[in-house]
């Protein structure tokens, strides 16, 4: 088994632990066993981090674009070099198969490289004025940022939280999830080893509500960046509003997938089944509600169930495991309860539906069909390995179902009709629409939602601009 590192806070590059700080236990979701103890930041630690973030902002806002880009590029190289070691830590604390963990490291490295380019392209512009007058629009870093990242992508979530600020010239205090702390720490270590001044990026842990309340109460923090659930996001936006701090909120989703009978059904199945069960379904853009046109329904449902049953579930460190455990016990218990409720409400079980083994938080890839719309799973984000398949008469009904919920993160559609693709692009309420494919993110594309899925973007040029403010200088 790979070695799990000693855990610590990272304040001005200093690794802090012990000294009477309370600690939380980190567990391996594949076994339920303890991996390590994570210190909680005290109020004094948080105040110190805030003071240092202020200094870090003074230092980094004046760094040249070349310097910022250089650090991000070098950190990307280190992340690639260390991918095996970091991926093993990630799998130990989060559970996903090693292959996915490595992919996450590589995506994060590519994101840093893209942001390095964007650091140099935050140009601003000169406006048309008569001789003797001038007006210039400048983009300047917003200030110190407080960022909170969840446990489902322990490296990538943290890379998104710190990459944009560093490219833009901000400082950042990041709180990775207390359930998956080591992978995020390893990512930030790559940045420090690449030459990032340690005041610019600090890492804290604690009781999430206490840490966010403390940091967001400080006037030093100019922006909140959060990825997580919609209920927590709403609370944090209220805290940020007390001081009118800017916000980027990447919240939950309930990914609709519109499958039309004119599409290549085998290709849709071969693509969407692995996409559904990637990271045991614990993905904000996970395809979840399969909205299938009547003529393709039976074939799609049966093909989905057959493929789901063939997925090899096992410890993510073992060769051949295609799906690991769920990342925590409460997620597994919640999913189990909601599946039972859906079946009691009349849903049909086509695959899975139960835990696997007695150790860890394994749950079988599950397919439910013919679900009543008022069952909890059809309304709340399942965040687990379950596909929900229902039958619809045609396009208008299918679009109405896609837009029924207050979420709008990723949506998917399978159709070979070009006119329909254009209609869907306009009508489906989502931050990302994926047609005849499964990938809702790319480093150069803005990633973010509408409605209750949040606002603002990460990735793309937008991910850096979100950490900047426009200032216009008028002359004459």
Positions marked active-site: 250, 284
Per-residue x/- track, 313-332, ligand NAD (CB under 6 A): -----------------xx-
Residue 413 has a CB neighbour count (10 Å cut-off) of 25
Minimum CB distance to ligand NAD smaller for 250 or for 459: 250
**Rule CB under 6 A: is residue 215 a binding residue for ligand NAD?**
no
- Which of 192-200, 224-232, 435-443, 460-468 is the region at the interface with ligand NAD (rule: CB under 6 A)? 224-232
- The angle formed by the CA atoms of residues 225, 162 and 80, to the nearest 5 degrees, is 140
Which candidate, 254, 209, 204, places its Cα nearest to that of 235?
209
Residue 313: DSSP 8-state: B
Minimum CB distance to ligand NAD smaller for 40 or for 80: 40
Shortest distance in whole angstroms from residue 235 CB to ligand NAD: 6
- Which of 248-256, 315-323, 395-403, 467-475 is the region at the interface with ligand NAD (rule: CB under 6 A)? 248-256
Q: Where are the alpha helices (DSSP H) in 316-436?
A: 329-344, 395-402, 418-427
Minimum CB distance to ligand NAD smaller for 232 or for 364: 232
> Is the Cβ–Cβ distance between 7 and 36 less than 8 Å?
yes
Q: Which H/E stretch holds residue 10?
A: strand 9-11
**Rule CB under 6 A: is residue 225 a binding residue for ligand NAD?**
no
Distance separating alpha carbons of residues 461 and 125, to the nearest angstrom: 16
> Is the Cβ–Cβ distance between 178 and 149 less than 8 Å?
no
**Rule CB under 6 A: is residue 107 a binding residue for ligand NAD?**
no
- Which of 9-17, 120-128, 205-213, 287-295 is the region at the interface with ligand NAD (rule: CB under 6 A)? 205-213
- Residue indicated by tokens 């012990």: 18
Give the three-class secondary structure for 320: coil
**Rule CB under 6 A: is residue 237 a binding residue for ligand NAD?**
no
Give the three-class secondary structure for 56: helix
**Rule CB under 6 A: is residue 234 a binding residue for ligand NAD?**
no
Residue 2 has a CB neighbour count (10 Å cut-off) of 13
Cα distances (angstroms) measured from residue 218 to each of 144, 161, 221, 234, 387: 11, 19, 6, 19, 43
Instruction: Number of residues interacting with ligand NAD: please give it, by CB under 6 A.
Output: 22
**Rule CB under 6 A: is residue 229 a binding residue for ligand NAD?**
yes
Shortest distance in whole angstroms from residue 36 CB to ligand NAD: 17
Candidate list 56, 165, 252, 385; residue touching ligand NAD; CB under 6 A: 252
Q: Which H/E stretch holds residue 366?
A: strand 366-369
Minimum CB distance to ligand NAD smaller for 78 or for 111: 111
Candidate list 107, 290, 297, 383; residue touching ligand NAD; CB under 6 A: 383
Minimum CB distance to ligand NAD smaller for 283 or for 389: 283
Shortest distance in whole angstroms from residue 51 CB to ligand NAD: 21
Minimum CB distance to ligand NAD smaller for 296 or for 440: 440
Minimum CB distance to ligand NAD smaller for 35 or for 237: 237
Minimum CB distance to ligand NAD smaller for 60 or for 205: 205
**Rule CB under 6 A: is residue 251 a binding residue for ligand NAD?**
yes
Backbone dihedral region of 230: left (phi > 0), alpha (psi from -120 to 50 degrees) or beta? alpha
Per-residue x/- track, 148-167, ligand NAD (CB under 6 A): x-xxx---------------
**Rule CB under 6 A: is residue 406 a binding residue for ligand NAD?**
no
Strand-by-strand arrangement of the 454-455 sheet: 14-16, 9-11, 201-203, 172-175, 145-148, 223-227, 246-250, 454-455
> Is the Cβ–Cβ distance between 7 and 177 less than 8 Å?
no
Within 275-304, the residues that bind ligand NAD by CB under 6 A are: 284
**Could you tell me which residues come within 8 angstroms of residue 88 by beta carbon, excluding any fewer than 6 positions away?**
2, 98, 101, 317
Rg of the chain in Å (alpha carbons): 23
**Rule CB under 6 A: is residue 228 a binding residue for ligand NAD?**
yes
Shortest distance in whole angstroms from residue 439 CB to ligand NAD: 16
**Rule CB under 6 A: is residue 312 a binding residue for ligand NAD?**
no
Sort strands 366-369 and 386-392 into parallel, antiparallel or unpaired: parallel
Chain contacts with ligand NAD (rule: CB under 6 A): 148, 150-152, 177, 208-209, 212, 227-229, 232, 235-236, 250-252, 284, 330-331, 381, 383
């Amino acid at each position: 088994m790979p070695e799990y590192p000693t855990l610590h806070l990272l304040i001005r590059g200093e690794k802090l632990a012990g000294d009477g700080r309370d600690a939380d236990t980190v567990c391996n979701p594949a076994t339920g066993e303890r991996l390590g103890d994570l210190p909680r930041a005290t109020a004094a630690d948080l105040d110190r981090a805030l003071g240092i973030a202020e200094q870090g902002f003074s230092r980094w806002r004046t760094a040249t674009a070349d310097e910022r880009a250089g650090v991000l590029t070098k950190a990307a190289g280190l992340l690639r070099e260390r991918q095996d070691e970091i991926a093993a830590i990630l799998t130990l604390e989060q559970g996903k198969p090693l292959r996915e963990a490595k992919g996450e490291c590589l995506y994060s490295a590519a994101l840093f490289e893209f942001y390095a380019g964007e650091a140099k392209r935050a140009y601003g512009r000169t406006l048309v004025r008569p001789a003797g007058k001038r007006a210039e629009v400048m983009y300047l870093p917003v200030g110190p940022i407080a960022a909170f990242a969840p446990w489902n992508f322990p490296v990538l979530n943290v890379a998104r939280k710190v990459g944009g600020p560093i490219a833009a010239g901000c400082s950042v205090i990041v709180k990775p999830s207390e359930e998956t702390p080591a992978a995020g720490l390893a990512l930030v270590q790559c940045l420090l080893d690449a030459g990032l001044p340690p005041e610019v990026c600090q890492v804290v842990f604690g009781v999430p509500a206490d840490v966010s309340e403390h940091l967001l109460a400080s006037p030093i923090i100019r922006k909140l960046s959060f990825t997580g659930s919609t209920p927590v996001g709403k609370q944090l936006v209220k805290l940020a509003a007390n001081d009118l701090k800017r916000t980027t909120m990447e919240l939950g989703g309930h990914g609709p997938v519109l499958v039309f009978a004119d599409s290549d059904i085998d290709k849709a199945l071969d693509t969407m089944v692995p996409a559904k069960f990637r990271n045991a379904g614990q993905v904000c853009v996970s395809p979840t509600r399969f909205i299938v046109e009547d003529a393709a329904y039976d074939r799609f449902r049966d093909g989905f169930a057959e493929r789901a049953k063939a997925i090899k579930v096992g410890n993510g460190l073992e060769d051949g495991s295609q799906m690991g455990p769920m990342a925590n016990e409460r997620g597994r218990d919640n999913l189990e309860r909601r599946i039972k409720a859906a079946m009691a409400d009349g849903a049909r079980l086509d695959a899975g539906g139960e835990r696997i083994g007695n150790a860890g938080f394994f749950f079988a890839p599950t397919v439910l069909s013919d679900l009543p719309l008022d069952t909890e799973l059809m309304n709340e984000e399942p965040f687990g390995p379950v596909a929900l398949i229902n039958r619809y008469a045609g396009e208008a009904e299918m679009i109405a179902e896609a837009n029924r919920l207050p979420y709008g993160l990723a949506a998917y559609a399978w159709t070979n009709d070009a006119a329909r693709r254009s209609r869907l692009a306009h009508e489906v309420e989502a931050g990302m629409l994926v047609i005849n494919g499964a990938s809702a993110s790319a480093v150069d594309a803005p990633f973010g939602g509408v409605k209750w899925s949040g606002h603002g973007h990460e990735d793309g040029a937008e991910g850096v601009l979100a950490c900047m403010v426009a200032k216009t200088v008028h002359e004459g």
